[in-house]
Amino acid sequence: MKVISVASKKGGVGKSTTAVTLSAHLAGRGKTLLVDADEELRSAWHWTTKKAGYDGWGFDVQLYSAFIDQDNPGEGYDYVVLDTKGGEGRDELAALSRNSSLLIIPTKPDGVSSDGLVATLEPLLEKGIANYRVLLADVPPAPNSDGMDMRMELDNAGIPLFHHSIRHAVAVSKAAREGICVRDVKGDRYAKLVWMDYELISREVISHVK
């Protein structure tokens, strides 16, 4: 069983979007469980359970309280994807990384300095923790260069990054509203493109955890 956790100090950076969409990809490769550990918002849970009769997910979903209540949480699954609440500090990130095969830290390139993120992640680097990757998500299209600029800043600071980024696509929030996978959003070609972005990320994830 490989545990893949999605976390960040900042809120609203694409954690739940990443956990849900990545789970849909991993489900094509192995038995997958999505665990919603943000019991206050339950975004991943609501997104994946709201549309009655929809069978486009391919994975199971549990709330963290139910997951942790079992004798052997995650038993029988190849991949367990954990969506966490925002605001995890350095120590929590370090603890999560120890208990996971891979820790994914999404961030939006908001045009401001990435110093805050670097400061949060430096202790992981100092402690020699290497099983995490920063994911640039919701990246605006060219000619905007925020995504490239932030990639270069983080790279220069020695922060490990996924090679691919996730583009900005309104189809993502439409999918969440409708309770479907972004792959199934109709009439928006960016839906397929952002789904393919996550396909590339899922390949990187698999190569990190195998």
- Which one of 49-57, 71-79, 145-153, 168-176 is the stretch in contact with ligand ATP (CB under 6 A)? 168-176
Q: Phi and psi of 5, rounded to 5°?
A: -100, 145
CA–CA dist 138, 30 (Å, integer)? 27
Question: b/e map of 122-155 (b: 16 or more CB within 10 Å)?
Answer: eebeeeeeeebbbbbbbbeeeeeebbeebbebbe
Q: Rank residues 12 and 28 by Cβ distance to ligand ATP and give the closer one.
A: 12
CA–CA dist 70, 129 (Å, integer)? 29
> Could you say which of Mg ion, ligand ATP, none residue 202 binds, taking C-beta under 5 to 8 angstroms by partner kind?
none
Shortest distance, position 111 Cβ to Mg ion, whole Å: 22
Task: Indicate whether 169 belongs to the interface with ligand ATP (CB under 6 A).
Answer: yes
Shortest distance, position 72 Cβ to ligand ATP, whole Å: 27
Single out the residue of 52, 17, 6 nearest to residue 195, CA to CA: 17
> Could you say which of ligand ATP, Mg ion, none residue 17 binds, taking C-beta under 5 to 8 angstroms by partner kind?
ligand ATP
Task: Indicate whether 173 belongs to the interface with ligand ATP (CB under 6 A).
Answer: yes
> Could you say which of Mg ion, ligand ATP, none residue 88 binds, taking C-beta under 5 to 8 angstroms by partner kind?
none
Q: Count how many Cα atoms sit within 13 Å of the Cα of residue 32 in the half-sphere of its side chain.
A: 21
CA 149 to chain centroid: 21
Task: Indicate whether 11 belongs to the interface with ligand ATP (CB under 6 A).
Answer: yes
Given the rule CB under 6 A, which residues bind ligand ATP?
11-17, 38, 41, 43, 86, 137-138, 166, 168-170, 172-173, 176, 194
